Amino acid sequence: MLSVMAFLNWHHSMIAKNEQRAPGKLEALGLVPVVNEAKDPIETLSLVLSAVGIDHQIDEHTHQLLVTEKDVESAVFQMEAYRTENLDWPPPPPPRQTLHPQTPPTLLMMGILALFFAYTGPWSPESRWFARGAIDSVAILDHGEWWRLVTALTLHADLVHLTGNCLIGSMMIHFLGKMLGYGLSWLLLILTGFTGNLLNVLLHQQPHLSVGLSTSVFAAIGIFTGLQVTRFSRHTAKAMVLPLGAGLGLLAFLGSEGIRTDLGAHFFGFISGLCSGILLNLSGIIQKTQRPILQAAFFLSALTITGFSWILALR
């Protein structure tokens, strides 16, 4: 009984081998091996040849691809084309952005903004703070009162305006501080807010008044978008369009509604932040500003710029 079972097992194994060595339309005779100089996985090369319709077999003993002599040149060409197209693929994963261990002073800064609003009050024509610190395109362009581009970031029209900027802004600014460091993030918020307000003033075709931190808040969204767009070493349309679309979606969702919404300031704040985020990654500044003393210097610079702007406004 055992000898019969052994014979049957041997018979089935021989049939399986013959089927493996001679599947499909090709005969076992007349096949030649295709040299696999790059030592690519034989299963992958088999899929390549199958995709272009080249009949072949896999020799399980020599681990080679077998094709007819007339298909050797075509098979070699297709294998080389596959290697060329997939050179250095997949790309190495982008380096992960490490978070700073320091806790950004986000709540402190939002608290200062709230206290400042409590002192200045809502927007009023009689208020000296708004008369000297709000965005006024005529005063900026005709009289050179550039400090308004900064001081306006600290003023808010009413309590709803302040609450919206603090709620949305605190989340964006906090995560930006964890990513870039609290000092660099606040300095960038002032600079991109300044730039966004300036672009908005320059491109307005009529007198324009504006206040609020929202220019810097949307600049923060732009910075996140710029960092993500340039995060991949091998740029593809998908890798670049997705984060850009997400950033523009946030701009449309959060910054395009409301009676007093300054869409221009939001848009140009986003654009300023986007350019800043791209430059940050391309220049490698983020990795060079990890030291606590540099973060402290950047934070003091942001406070100095804001304080000096108010000194000029109220002199």
Q: pLDDT digit string (tens) for 197-214? A: 999 999 887 888 889 898
Residues 245 and 110 in one domain: yes
pLDDT at position 160 is 86
The sign of the CA dihedral 164, 170, 175, 179 is positive
User: Mean pLDDT score of the chain, rounded to an integer?
Assistant: 79
Residue 253 resides in a domain: yes
pLDDT at position 153 is 95
pLDDT at position 294 is 93
- Return d(Cα 188, Cα 194) in angstroms, integer: 10
Residues 172 and 295 in one domain: yes
Q: 287 lies in which domain range? A: 106-314
Query: Which segments of the chain have a pLDDT < 50?
Result: 1-28, 233-234, 253, 255-259
Q: 5 CB contacts (<8 Å, ≥6 apart)?
A: none
Q: What is the pLDDT of residues 22-34, one digit of tens each?
A: 444 444 456 778 7
Residue 204 resides in a domain: yes
Q: 234 CB contacts (<8 Å, ≥6 apart)?
A: 88, 91
pLDDT at position 272 is 94
Residues 222 and 251 in one domain: yes
Residues 73 and 119 in one domain: no
Residue 209 resides in a domain: yes
Q: 229 CB contacts (<8 Å, ≥6 apart)?
A: 239, 240, 243, 244, 274, 277, 278
Residues 120 and 54 in one domain: no
Residue 299 resides in a domain: yes
H-assigned helices in the chain: 2-21, 42-51, 72-85, 106-120, 128-133, 137-143, 148-151, 159-180, 182-203, 214-229, 237-255, 263-283, 285-288, 292-314
Residues 178 and 126 in one domain: yes
Residues 165 and 34 in one domain: no
pLDDT at position 66 is 83
Residues 24 and 118 in one domain: no
pLDDT at position 146 is 95
Residue 166 resides in a domain: yes
pLDDT at position 104 is 84
Residue 66 resides in a domain: yes
Residues 271 and 190 in one domain: yes
pLDDT at position 96 is 59
Q: Total structural domains in the chain? A: 2
Residues 173 and 267 in one domain: yes
Residue 255 resides in a domain: yes
**pTM of structure:** 0.66
Q: What is the pLDDT of residues 34-59, one digit of tens each?
A: 776 656 777 888 888 888 888 888 87
The CATH number of residue 276's host domain is 1.20.1540
Residues 150 and 277 in one domain: yes
pLDDT at position 38 is 59
What six digits make up the tokens of 103?
């806790």
pLDDT at position 238 is 52
Residues 148 and 277 in one domain: yes
pLDDT at position 266 is 85
Residue 304 resides in a domain: yes
Token look-up 């509604």 returns: 257
pLDDT at position 11 is 40
8 Å CB contact between 181 and 107: no
